[in-house]
């Protein structure tokens, strides 16, 4: 088994690198920033300078929620201004976090939110492509800039800017909690906060539980409960209205379940079957099957990562904080890639299993690509990563929606209906690819490189 060195070796290199910084290093860093600015400028220009009633409409929902808190208005009764007429659909805790944006002008809030999204995107890209970035040495800032620029043009990420969504923040929080070697916070804290803001990160509670990260599970659950109870303490009426009213309304508040933008399994089924008991039954069966297979593969990838470094996480540092040896750079890119794969699978399940999983929720494709690419030494893995990046660059579901309408030949409508579901289907393919092909490839290669290490045995949900 591969031994994992302590932090002394891991930290000595960066210290020496800092002492040798030169003007060239500064130029490389500036070049990385310039690449990002050049890449995002057209996106920002398009969505922050379009029609006023189309700009960052979800941010308007958050901000109006914050205003409702300050005014003492009913949080779940208001609608944003026409033509959007959108309700607030998040827990009261999220409305409390939106209050600071009410202190800014609407224009300033748009710019602040956009800059924060790109900052969170940079965090997510770092965790997704850590080994590739580190491998480039002094050129790492430029590598980082190129990767952030590439991620910014993915269709789900562009939609995050278009709508002013919260998804990139949740992505960065979950990645930081699950992929940091030894966090300075109790592991699970960030997932718990993400769950208090939006319910879909709740899948990571099950991930922590089935992969043996029980301290993280307890921390995440406790954080979510404390934040929710805090919402009850500050906003008792709004909390009761949400947990016993608005939450149960489901799709009636979140939008049309059969709309093209819903790439969850529920949306795919809804575009095939009419509303009724049969459709609900089909969705539940498929969702349960996907949940079983998906969590089984997430567990498989994570256990394989743990096995490559000699075992399960151990508790060190702050109370309840797990040390993930698989996340240690000294463990090599194989273990980290599999750890990232397990997290990415879980993130994709948060989209597929939800009653509504919008296209912009699929920012989880970023760690999928990162897990596939690894440190960039495996050509076949890089080609798979490139294929997913190209696939998610284009609004394929909307192209399919156009083809599937009347007026096109039957064969075009058939392919259009498949293309309409393409992002959701691609997410399923990504889960199978990470949990099976990538896990097998990494473990086999590790065994060949270290003959003393036996073939990794991975469990199932039944063991």
Per-residue pLDDT of the chain (463 residues; tens, 9 = 90+): 444 444 433 444 444 445 567 999 999 999 999 999 999 999 999 999 988 888 999 999 999 999 999 999 999 998 998 888 899 999 999 999 999 999 999 999 999 999 999 999 999 999 999 999 999 999 999 999 999 999 999 999 999 999 999 999 999 999 999 999 999 999 999 999 999 999 999 999 999 999 999 999 999 999 999 999 999 999 999 999 999 988 877 555 677 899 999 999 999 999 999 999 999 999 999 999 999 999 999 999 999 999 998 866 655 555 556 678 888 988 888 999 999 999 999 999 999 999 999 999 999 999 999 999 999 999 999 999 999 999 999 999 999 999 988 788 888 888 999 999 999 999 999 999 999 999 999 999 888 776 544 444 444 444 3
Contact indicator for 155, 392 with CB cutoff of 8 Å? yes
Contact indicator for 421, 271 with CB cutoff of 8 Å? yes
Concatenated DSSP letters of 349-381: HHHHSSS--BGGGGGGHHHHHHHHHTTS--HHH
The span from the CA of 122 to the CA of 310, in Å, is: 31
Contact indicator for 235, 92 with CB cutoff of 8 Å? yes
Residue 1: name the closest of 324, 336, 331 by CA. 331
Dihedral sign for Cα 120, 121, 122, 125, please.
positive
The span from the CA of 291 to the CA of 289, in Å, is: 5
Residue 8's pLDDT is 38
Q: Please identify which residue in the block is written with the tokens 């592991």.
A: 187
Tokens of 296: 């089984």
Whole-model pTM: value is 0.91
Tokens of 384: 């798979």
Residue 114 three-state SS: helix
Residue 127: name the closest of 438, 317, 364, 314 by CA. 364
* Helix and strand element counts for the chain (H, E): 24, 2
Q: What are phi and psi of 315, to 5 degrees?
A: -85, 125
Q: What are phi and psi of 322, to 5 degrees?
A: -90, 140
Angle between helices 439-449 and 277-308 (to 10 degrees): 10
Residue 406's pLDDT is 74
């Amino acid at each position: 088994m591969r031994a994992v060195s302590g932090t002394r070796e891991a930290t000595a290199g960066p210290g020496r690198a800092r002492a040798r910084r030169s003007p060239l290093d500064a130029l490389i860093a500036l070049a990385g920033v310039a690449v990002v600015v050049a890449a995002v400028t057209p996106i920002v220009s398009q969505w922050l300078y379009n029609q006023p009633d189309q700009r960052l409409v979800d941010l308007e929902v958050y901000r109006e929620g914050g205003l409702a808190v300050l005014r003492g208005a009913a949080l779940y009764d208001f609608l944003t201004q026409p033509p959007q007429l959108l309700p607030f659909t998040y827990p009261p805790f999220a409305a409390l976090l939106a209050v600071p944006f009410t202190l800014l002008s609407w224009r300033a809030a748009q710019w602040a939110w956009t800059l924060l999204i790109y900052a969170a995107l940079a965090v997510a890209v770092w965790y997704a492509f850590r080994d590739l970035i580190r491998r480039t040495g002094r050129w790492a800032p430029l590598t980082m800039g190129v990767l952030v620029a590439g991620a910014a043009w993915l269709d789900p990420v562009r939609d995050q800017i278009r709508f002013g969504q919260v998804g990139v923040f949740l992505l960065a929080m979950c990645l930081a909690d699950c992929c940091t070697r030894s966090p300075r916070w109790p592991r699970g804290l960030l997932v718990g906060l993400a769950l208090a803001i939006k319910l879909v990160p709740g899948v990571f509670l099950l991930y922590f539980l089935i992969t043996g990260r029980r301290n993280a599970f307890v921390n995440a659950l406790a954080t979510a409960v404390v934040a929710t109870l805090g919402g009850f303490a500050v906003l008792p009426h709004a909390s009761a209205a949400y947990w016993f009213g608005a939450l149960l309304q489901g799709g009636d508040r979140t939008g049309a379940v059969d709309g093209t933008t819903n790439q969850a399994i529920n949306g795919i089924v809804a575009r095939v079957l009419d509303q009724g008991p049969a459709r609900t039954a089909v969705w539940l069966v498929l969702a349960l099957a996907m949940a079983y297979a998906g969590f089984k593969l997430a567990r498989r990838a994570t256990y394989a990562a743990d096995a490559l470094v000699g075992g399960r996480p151990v508790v060190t540092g702050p109370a309840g904080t797990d040390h993930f040896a698989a996340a240690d750079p000294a463990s090599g890119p194989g273990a980290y890639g599999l750890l990232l794969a397990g997290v990415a699978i879980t993130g994709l399940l948060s989209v597929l299993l939800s009653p509504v999983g919008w296209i912009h929720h699929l920012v989880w494709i970023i760690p999928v690509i990162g897990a596939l690419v690894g440190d960039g030494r495996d050509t076949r893995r890089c080609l798979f990563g490139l294929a997913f990046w190209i696939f998610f660059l284009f609004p394929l579901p909307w192209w399919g929606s156009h083809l599937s309408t009347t007026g096109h030949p039957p064969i075009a409508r058939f392919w259009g209906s498949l293309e309409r579901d393409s992002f959701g289907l691609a997410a399923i393919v990504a889960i199978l690819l990470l949990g099976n092909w990538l896990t097998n490839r990494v473990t086999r290669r590790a065994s060949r490189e270290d003959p003393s290490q036996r073939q990794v045995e991975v469990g199932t949900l039944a063991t």
